[in-house]
Structure 1
Amino acid sequence: MAADLVGRTVTVSAPATSANLGPGFDHLGLAFDLRQAATLRVVASGFSAEVTGEGAEDVPRDGSHLILRSAVAALADLGCEVPGLALTADNVIPHGRGLGSSAAAIVAGLLAGTVLAGADPEPERLLGLATDIEGHADNVAAALLGGLVIAYPGPDRVGAVQVPVHPDLAAMVYLPDTSVPTSEARGLLPAEVPHSDAAANAGRAALLVEALSRSPELLLPATEDRLHQRYRRTAMPESYDLLESLRDKGFAAVVSGAGPSVLVLGRAPSLTHLPDQPGFRRRNLSVGTGARVEDRSAVV
């Protein structure tokens, strides 16, 4: 079986994502039109990664690369082994900025491995594998399915549902020059929070689904958070100051994922009034689709 796979090649892509979106901690995710593409080829021996673009200088070039590890995990789950894989990727999603670069890599690798094995990419299976690798489902669910996603724990494995997004919804992200590891940002969160804060976030998260799907005029109150953003301020003081400044001006700003990027949600015309900010570069984003196979012509 392994020898039969040598030479098979597939190109896949997965979107950048933002998790939490303010109050939806670990359960809400939104995909964008910024996409990570990757080409994987089964080779006779060895694992290698040829990577350019964002964060290329910091990622491994061997089988420990996250896309390769994820592809191998997908193959193993299907009972397949390969003698080697060669990855080619041009990274476009900033690393360590809260835009789901790891989730995109995991989902891209899982999708590629599944296609190389000749199996159907069943979303439920891929979501379970992706969550096992990532540790939580919000980003990987959005990267896999696209659009706005609610991830939730099921009896055996995590589940996810897509929610229609208002056609006028757009986003602007402020990207800082520095990164913050997700593990560091998570380490700042308290083990317990006041009941009043938990109750407030539950209400805001429910309101946020309404705001993103049908009522963008509610985005400012809907993005209020008490569970995680303020606790991370010490790791990203400039980002938190920017967030507060933007919200004071009436913009629905949140920390993107674990940060330190600041995401602003709203109707596209309103985002044209956003100010520049020293130490940050801005990028316009639109809601994106989920992971997909870009080229499977070499898969037989």
Structure 2
Amino acid sequence: MLAGRLSLATRRLSVEEVPTPDAGPGEVRIAVAAAGVCLSDVHLIQGALTPLHLQGDVVTLGHEVAGTVDQVGDGVRHLSVGDRVLLQAGEERDGTVHTRGVDYDGGWAEYAVARADTVVPIPDSLPFEQACFIPDAVSTPWAALTTTAQTRPATAVGVWGVGGLGAHAVQLLALLGAAPIIAVDPLPRARERALAFGADVALDPADPGFAQAMGAATGGAGLARAFDFAGVPAVREQAVACLGYRGRLTLVGLTDQPITVADGTRFSYLQQQILGHYGSEPADVTTLVALTALGRLEFSRSVSATVPLAEAARAVEMLERKEGDPIRIVLVP
């Protein structure tokens, strides 16, 4: 079968023929129908991210995967050949989370093997190219909004970075009843998208009138919740400055750079908080699938492009260069 393989020794991505895996006991094999291309994949290729638990130095990328059950291993009773499914982005082993496509082979391939308890059935109404990125691109912002930040309805929320995760954060905040939703992005197209996805206001962070516009949008009270989906130190400093009394900034975008609080006294006096966030829980994914099946969520606008698996390197380049300001590029075997 074809698979997009990354050599950790050289950081070289190649699409090559590898043996088709078989489902072992407690596992299923799926015929992959769609696999998302995430910024984390770019970070792996560039060397900014390195697997912690990978056996060996080569891995098939892809942690956002959907397809059809193709083979059922011994002991699996709740899944059958032909079932439409998506795969959780990782699995727990000995108390440690291992990420698919990072710590073990993922779904940039024609077939993928998964432990049966990491397989989530999806309704016929949910296309594979939309289902595949619910784990991570949708579930990560959902968990950040609901679990880490505990966002409440009718509270002012700011979203910095309206890309692959931030765009879904805006959509999910509208579902949760946050208001006003204030999107912040330097790209005009991203700001337009934020408004289409449910933001009440979209601001350019470099606008000289930014602080005045933020104050007007929040009635002078500042933000109850702010989210950094960009992973940029300057974004975090600006977001902290926009927080109100007991406001919380949640860091979702990843960076190895330090964060600076310009006015520590103000930060403490207003009892503000900065929270780290990473990933999501399996229940977040199943919740989102249920909401999608009920028509509360719809992700057709999130599929920016579909690219053949054989051209995975081109898809990575498109995301790296932000061609067309993509939300999700999807590989199709």
**TM-score (norm. length: structure 2):** 0.28
More RCO (CA 8 Å, sep 6+): 1
**TM-score (norm. length: structure 1):** 0.30
Bigger Cα Rg: 2
